[in-house]
Amino acid sequence: MQFIKPDINIDFIGKRKIAFAISIAMILISAISLLLHKGPRYGIDFAGGTLIQIKFDAPVKLDDIKTGLKSVDLGKSSVQLFGQEADNEYLIRTDRSVMTTEGFSGQVAKSLVDSTGVKVAIRRVEMVGPQVGEDLRRKALFAMFYALLFITIYISGRFELKWFTSGGITIALIGAVYLISLLNVSIPFLMAAALAVALVLFWFLDLKYALGAIVALIHDVIITVGIFSIFDKEFTLPIIAALLTIIGYSLNDTIIVFDRIRENIRKYQKSKFPFIINKSVNETLSRTILTSITTLIVVVALFVLGGGIIHDFAFAMIIGVLVGTYSSIYVASPIIIALQEFTKRK
Amino acid sequence: MWPHKKINLGLDLQGGMHLVLEVDTQKAVESTIERITQEIRTFLKKEHIRYVNLDRIKGSQISVTLRDPEAIEKFEKLLDDEFENLRQVSRDQDDNGLTVVMDIPDEEADQIKRLAADQALETIRNRIDQFGVAEPDIRRQGEGRILIQLPGIKDTQRAKDLVGRTALLEFKLLDDSHDIQAALKGSVPPGSELLYQINENQETGRIKKVPYLVKKRARLTGAYLTDARVQIDSQYNEPYVSIDFDKKGARIFERITEENVNKRLAIVLDKTVYSAPVIQEKIAGGKARVTGNFTTDEARDLAIVLRAGALPAPVIILEERTVGPSLGSDSIRKGLISMIIGGILVVLFMAIYYKGAGLIANAGLLLNIILIAGGLAGFQGTLSLPGIAGIILTIGMAVDANVLIFERIREELGLGKTPRAAVDAGYARATLTILDANVTTLIAALVLFQFGTGAVKGFAITLSLGVLSSLFTALILTRSVFDYFLINRKIRHLSI
């Protein structure tokens, strides 16, 4: 069986302007959604607060739950159906984070039984203090940043044998980030600045593979975060894990294309660069699509069957796999051409 | 499916409680300062040095105000002789007299904080050991934080009370030379404080607070305690906690009771008065009892915390994650179902798309899962729900290496090579690509491991194991299967 014929020759590079336009539009939409929602919606892992998962023995009315909760002082709280309707499971969230110390979950259970008349079990309580939330937020951003950075050294080293240049950039960036972080600047700003500086450095030092890969990765992360924001989903620790996995996964695709480019440069020395790149993307297309299919199969299975707790994680992975596949075809390689054309013009 | 004895299940799968506590070490410094302040007060009285004011200010500073020159001179001498480790922060001369503000040097304060954090960890470990939890995990996290994992615990509230309670037991004399009513209106005499006894009427649930004016200085504390046990009062059939003091504690107790017959001695636990009996006579032997309408569980937990000792400083719960056992088993079930369904779909896909070669890849896939499970058991890793997700993801991504190789082999066959040459070329060409591609996933997983807490770490572990084992199965295992068929069985036609 074969989905993609070996002699396939789609003109990806010729259509790169359209692809760029689509990508930029998606990034803009993501940015607008993030602006409208005032940044990503942080779950309690990052914002601090309390989350209680409850399961009733029989169906109850949402209003009864809300009435029951009113008798416990919860602060700003929300109740939401969790999983299937038939499960009678709900999530209660509040922005308060200290009360769990004082027999709080017992009180919640008691007043819910009073208001609904149905037996209720508390299945999960998560309380994160504001301090811890802030710590985790900082750590998550640093993790994403370092993952991107280490990956780019690896790419520059492996594909262009510029271990020293890329290593030097990395050490300089880590040093700069550390020094600036001592000044108490807001971390998202710091990371954005560091990434921007990294991109500029890659551009001027002509590290085209690293540039292509990192642009594709930032593209994937922004769009995934944007779609999460459009669907108004929460950012939690597992979502960060999903984002990092997407970074690894999307890069996987990208590297396989780069690898083919490197091989084809040697093989077709007389051909023009855009032709080689287009040929490489076409040659690896079958594999790119197949791997995406098998990965999609399992993440969709996880999304449908994995249960509520892992639902959003699977959702992030589905988006990531789709966007990652797209970006390794339409973003990473065309960026290399863009840089090539830029340096020639100089 | 998982051999339970060998693979540790995370708290999210087996149910249990995860707590992060912060030791409020600053409070340990403050209570040291408070103790020194009381010592100075005692010395000033003993040496008949007249002072205008003596108090602990701003948490961790001592302020002394003296007026007549003779007293100042004596006080300076006292500082040199007895309190040479105090640091003078400021000296101010005004109408009231000379005010000296002192504190303890930073290194010493740091030392106190460090000790407090160490001691808190030890104390909490003791308490949980005595409470009886199977395989608890209690460790330091950073400077003053303590991470506690209690798998399978059911009564989470009780566990939190047990861990979070300071359990500072103090014996303080009542201040009967001052009027409690005046103190309630706000004029608490220096050296004394207002503490409350909380009485709950068990039928109506109404809470009554009884105020006591007690001397600030604790005459005896739980530090001298050797044992605490639950006893049942034969008269009221109510549980209480009987405590035994060591020799020194017993001597102190004897002296207090001897010197203060007919006075009242308050038994104070964590700033709450439990009882304030009148001392009838000198009590020798070093035994006392803490009473206060306890249930048997409460009395038992109180005995545990008293035996394990007081926390040197209060702790605050920063993070709590509790998962009920039923949710845990639900998660396992759903995780396994999606793994099996996802796995079957991938296996079918590979078998249909690559036929015979697909079957080889599927054998590799199966081995992969076994290797991950083995790896988890071998490295004593913990399987969490995101960890299961990691395995599921690996199933999808592990076939990637095979896909790369098979596509390469198909290309080579398309160029007209023999099956054997095509397989050789396919593996040779794809190996480097596969390594390159997987190193990056490994980098992401390692960063995740560094950053992650609990469940996310579990994901990073299974993902890394998955990457490594899929490298092994794709590059070595499936290769040998191909070789077996091509070399030993001399197969002419490749089913791919």
Domain covering B324-488 in this structure, CATH number? 1.20.1640.10
Judged against a pLDDT cut of 70, whether residue A142 lies above it is answered with yes
The confidence band for A248, taking pLDDT boundaries of 50, 70 and 90, is confident
Window 411-440 of B: residues touching A by CB (8 A cutoff) are 411, 414, 429, 432-433, 436-440
Neighbours of A238 (CB within 10 A): 25
Contacts (Cβ under 8 Å, ≥6 apart) of B351? B358, B359, B362
B28 touches chain A (CB under 8 A): no
- Tell me the DSSP string of B33-83: HHHHHHHHHHHHHHTT---SEEEEETTTEEEEEE-SHHHHHHHHHHHHHH-
Q: Which residue of B has its CA nearest to A254?
A: B437
Residue B151 β-bridge partners: B16
| Test the A interface: residue of B150, B338, B431 with most A CBs within 10 Å | B338
Whose CA is closest to A329, among A290, A268, A280, A293?
A: A280
Judged against a pLDDT cut of 60, whether residue B2 lies above it is answered with no
CA A210/CA A86 separation, integer angstroms: 50
CB contact under 8 A, B440 and A154: yes
- Which pLDDT does position A28 carry in this prediction? 95
- Which pLDDT does position A346 carry in this prediction? 59
- Which pLDDT does position B79 carry in this prediction? 87
- Give the gap in angstroms from C-alpha B66 to the nearest C-alpha of chain A: 43
| CATH for the B167-310 domain, from 3.40.50.300, 3.30.1360.200, 3.90.1300.10, 3.30.420.40 | 3.30.1360.200
B23 touches chain A (CB under 8 A): no
For chain B, what are the domain ranges?
A: 27-105, 167-310, 324-488
| Mean pLDDT to the nearest integer, A245-251 | 86
% pLDDT > 90, chain A: 22
The confidence band for A84, taking pLDDT boundaries of 50, 70 and 90, is confident
CB contact under 8 A, B319 and A245: no
| Mean pLDDT to the nearest integer, B53-82 | 87
B343 touches chain A (CB under 8 A): yes
- Give the gap in angstroms from C-alpha B126 to the nearest C-alpha of chain A: 21
The confidence band for B454, taking pLDDT boundaries of 50, 70 and 90, is low
CB contact under 8 A, A298 and B346: yes
The confidence band for B264, taking pLDDT boundaries of 50, 70 and 90, is very high
DSSP E strands, B385-450? none
The confidence band for A188, taking pLDDT boundaries of 50, 70 and 90, is confident
% pLDDT > 90, chain B: 27
- Which pLDDT does position A98 carry in this prediction? 63
* Burial of B330: CB neighbours in 10 Å, binned 0-12, 13-18, 19+: buried
- Which pLDDT does position A203 carry in this prediction? 83
Pairing verdict, β A89-94 and B238-245: unpaired
- Give the gap in angstroms from C-alpha A194 to the nearest C-alpha of chain B: 18
- Which pLDDT does position B255 carry in this prediction? 92
- Which pLDDT does position B143 carry in this prediction? 80
- Which pLDDT does position B9 carry in this prediction? 85
CB contact under 8 A, B437 and A256: yes
- Which pLDDT does position B42 carry in this prediction? 85
The confidence band for A26, taking pLDDT boundaries of 50, 70 and 90, is very high
* Burial of A18: CB neighbours in 10 Å, binned 0-12, 13-18, 19+: exposed
- Which pLDDT does position A100 carry in this prediction? 57
Q: What residue ranges define each of the domains in chain A, with the CATH number in brackets?
A: 16-43+132-345 (1.20.1640.10), 49-128 (3.30.70.3400)
- Comparing A157-161, B18-22, B159-163, which segment has the lowest mean pLDDT? A157-161
CB contact under 8 A, B397 and A252: yes
- Give the gap in angstroms from C-alpha B60 to the nearest C-alpha of chain A: 24
The confidence band for B347, taking pLDDT boundaries of 50, 70 and 90, is very high
Nearest to A299 among B396, B400, B439 (CB): B396
Specify whether the CB–CB gap between B55 and B339 falls below 8 A.
Answer: no
Q: Which residue of A has its CA nearest to B348?
A: A294
Judged against a pLDDT cut of 60, whether residue A131 lies above it is answered with yes
Kindly report the CATH class assigned to B27-105.
alpha beta
Nearest to B334 among A127, A129, A306 (CB): A306
Same fold, B27-105 and B167-310: yes
CB contact under 8 A, A259 and B432: yes
Judged against a pLDDT cut of 70, whether residue B6 lies above it is answered with no
CB contact under 8 A, B326 and A291: no
Nearest to B321 among A6, A126, A238 (CB): A126
- Which pLDDT does position A23 carry in this prediction? 94
- Comparing A95-99, B54-58, B357-361, which segment has the lowest mean pLDDT? A95-99
Q: What is the pTM of this model?
A: 0.83
Judged against a pLDDT cut of 80, whether residue B238 lies above it is answered with yes
User: What residues in B contact A251, CB-CB < 8 Å?
Assistant: 437, 440-441, 444
- Which pLDDT does position A141 carry in this prediction? 82
The confidence band for A214, taking pLDDT boundaries of 50, 70 and 90, is confident
Q: At B11, give phi and psi (nearest 5°).
A: -60, -30
Nearest to A310 among B349, B385, B410 (CB): B385
B160 touches chain A (CB under 8 A): yes
User: What residues in B contact A147, CB-CB < 8 Å?
Assistant: 443-444, 447-448
| Mean pLDDT to the nearest integer, B57-84 | 87
Nearest to B440 among A255, A286, A296 (CB): A255
Nearest to A106 among B157, B403, B448 (CB): B157
Q: What is the mean pLDDT of chain B?
A: 87
SS3 A76: coil
CA B437/CA B403 separation, integer angstroms: 13
Judged against a pLDDT cut of 70, whether residue A315 lies above it is answered with yes
- Which pLDDT does position A29 carry in this prediction? 95
User: What residues in B contact A297, CB-CB < 8 Å?
Assistant: 342, 345-346, 349, 396
Judged against a pLDDT cut of 90, whether residue A297 lies above it is answered with yes
- Which pLDDT does position B380 carry in this prediction? 79
Nearest to A238 among B164, B447, B456 (CB): B456
B152, B157, B160, B164: CA torsion to nearest 10: -170
- Which pLDDT does position B3 carry in this prediction? 52
Q: What is the mean pLDDT of chain A?
A: 86
B316 touches chain A (CB under 8 A): yes
Signed CA dihedral, B177, B179, B183, B184: sign only = positive
- Which pLDDT does position A224 carry in this prediction? 94
- Which pLDDT does position A314 carry in this prediction? 93
Judged against a pLDDT cut of 90, whether residue A209 lies above it is answered with no
Judged against a pLDDT cut of 60, whether residue A87 lies above it is answered with yes
Angle between helices A308-330 and A273-305 (to 10 degrees): 170
Neighbours of A304 (CB within 10 A): 13
Tens digits of residue pLDDT in A98-115? 655 566 777 888 888 888
| Mean pLDDT to the nearest integer, B280-301 | 86
Size of interface A-B (CB pairs under 8 A): 223
User: What residues in A contact B355, CB-CB < 8 Å?
Assistant: 1
B410 touches chain A (CB under 8 A): yes
| Mean pLDDT to the nearest integer, B274-288 | 88
Judged against a pLDDT cut of 90, whether residue B121 lies above it is answered with yes
Q: Which residue of A has its CA nearest to B391?
A: A298
User: What residues in A contact B326, CB-CB < 8 Å?
Assistant: 121, 123
H or E element at residue B432: helix B419-451
- Alpha helices (H) along chain A: 16-36, 44-47, 62-70, 104-116, 130-160, 163-181, 187-204, 208-230, 237-267, 273-305, 308-330, 332-345
- Which pLDDT does position A134 carry in this prediction? 85
CB contact under 8 A, A129 and B318: yes
- Which pLDDT does position A99 carry in this prediction? 58
B356 touches chain A (CB under 8 A): no
Judged against a pLDDT cut of 80, whether residue B202 lies above it is answered with no
CB contact under 8 A, B318 and A125: no
| Mean pLDDT to the nearest integer, B77-94 | 86
- Give the gap in angstroms from C-alpha B128 to the nearest C-alpha of chain A: 17
| Mean pLDDT to the nearest integer, B148-168 | 87
B113 touches chain A (CB under 8 A): no
